């Protein structure tokens, strides 16, 4: 987790750009952020979301992502982040390092 503070004016500009993106660009941005933060491979992500290892690569190459697929992607990310958070909390409660539980996906 990054502990640097981002100036409000920068956050405002980022939000303005994201809000004006089309839905496919917006979900690709979310996926790219998730992949960077989680360390998950793009192929594994696609297989987990919809059994399509080419999903992210196709999105990067302009594949249109319709609402049902966007919802699947968002649900997968939310579920994964919730699982990751629960594993972290459990490790902390038991006095273990959270990094060991976070490395298994």
Q: Answer yes or no: is 1 within a domain.
A: no
> Is 61 part of any domain?
yes
Q: Which residue range(s) make up the domain with 81?
A: 23-103
Question: Residue 38 CB: number of other CB atoms within 10 A?
Answer: 16
pTM for this one?
0.64
Residue 53: the pLDDT is: 97
Number of structural domains, the chain?
1
Provide the terminal-to-terminal Cα distance of the chain, rounded to the nearest Å: 18
- The answer to whether 64 and 75 are in contact (CB under 8 A) is no
pLDDT value at residue 14: 59
Residue 23 CB contacts under 8 Å (≥ 6 apart), including other chains:
65, 67, 70
Q: How confident is the model at residue 44 (pLDDT cuts 50, 70, 90)?
A: very high
Given a contact cutoff of 8 angstroms between Cβ atoms, the answer to whether 56 and 35 are in contact is: yes
32 versus 92: the higher-pLDDT residue is 32
The residue with tokens 């992949």 is 35
- pLDDT tens-digit profile of 8-27? 665 566 565 556 678 888 89
């Amino acid at each position: 987790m990054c502990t640097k503070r981002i100036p409000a004016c920068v956050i405002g500009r980022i939000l303005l750009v994201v809000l004006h993106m089309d839905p496919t660009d917006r979900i690709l941005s979310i996926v790219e952020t998730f992949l960077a933060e989680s360390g998950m491979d793009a192929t594994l992500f696609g297989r987990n979301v919809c059994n399509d290892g080419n999903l992210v690569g196709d999105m990067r190459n302009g594949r249109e992502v319709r609402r049902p697929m966007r919802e699947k992607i968002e649900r997968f990310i939310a579920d994964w982040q919730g699982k990751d958070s629960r594993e972290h909390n459990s490790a902390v409660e038991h006095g273990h390092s959270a990094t060991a539980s976070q490395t298994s996906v």
